[in-house]
Amino acid sequence: MCVSLCFLICNLISASIWNIVLISVDRYIAICYPLDYSRKMSLTRVKYCVCLCWFCASSCSFVYSNDVMVQFGKSKSCTGECKFTISYILGTFDLILNFILPVTTIIVLYLRVFVVAVSQARAMRSHITVASFHSATSGTKKSELKAARTLGVLVVVYLMCYCPYYCYSIVQVNITSTSYSSILFILFYSNSCLNPVIYALFYPWFRKAVKVIVTLQILQPGSREAKLL
């Protein structure tokens, strides 16, 4: 159970982080290349990307928990304790893979989205177009910008949850030896819980989708035709 818990925690955290990266890539293409969005972000390609994300997260989790499986119980100090520790090399690898690389990718893409959104807003204000076309275009841009703002909130929450843990891990290799390690871990783990809460607050269709899943309506034959928008 302890090994399973360590594997599950690493898997969910890694997948949660890289799902945010996939969302940022989706918003980048939608705003910066709107005419090519339907071609580049096809349903099949999205499915492959999500499956690849979870596969990579599972592979990394297996590497993280391999030491626990090979030398089980070497780090526990009392009977029944489930303690998960990784080496300095794996800690450095985790820092790069699950913090530096995704943060850099998200920030670069988000800055690009912000620049393009500002330029599009200026272009819309400086040109007079047909009223109906302007209304449809502004509605589409408003939806895309709302999605970009939601992504910005996700990134800020992500940094607030992960920065304390990773900043301290650079100074102190064994975080579990500190007196306030539980606070760092709770904050670290809470990010995966806060992401769906943020989406539920911003999007009514997300709340409807969760309701369909929780009430097991998704098992009914006509669940695919459920109106969420």
Confidence (pLDDT) at 54: 92
Segments forming the whole domain that contains residue 127: 2-225
pLDDT at 41: 86
**Mean pLDDT lowest for which of 55-64, 146-155, 202-211?**
146-155
* Residue 147 binned pLDDT confidence (cut-offs 50, 70, 90): low
Q: How many domains does the chain have?
A: 1
Q: 35-38: long-range contacts (C-beta < 8 A, 24 or more apart)?
A: none
| CATH number of 218's domain | 1.20.1070.10
Residue 182 has pLDDT above 60, yes or no: yes
Q: Is the distance from CB of 90 to CB of 60 less than 8 angstroms? A: no
What pLDDT is attached to residue 1? 79
Give 38's Cβ-side CA count (13 Å radius).
Answer: 1
The burial class, CB within 10 Å (0-12 / 13-18 / 19+), for 37 is middle
* pLDDT per position as a tens digit, 63-77: 877 766 555 555 555
> Which residues are CB-neighbours of 166 under 8 A, at least 6 positions away?
95, 99
- The pLDDT assigned to 131 comes to 44
Asked if 34 and 210 count as a contact pair (C-beta separation under 8 A), the reply is no
pLDDT of residue 97: 87
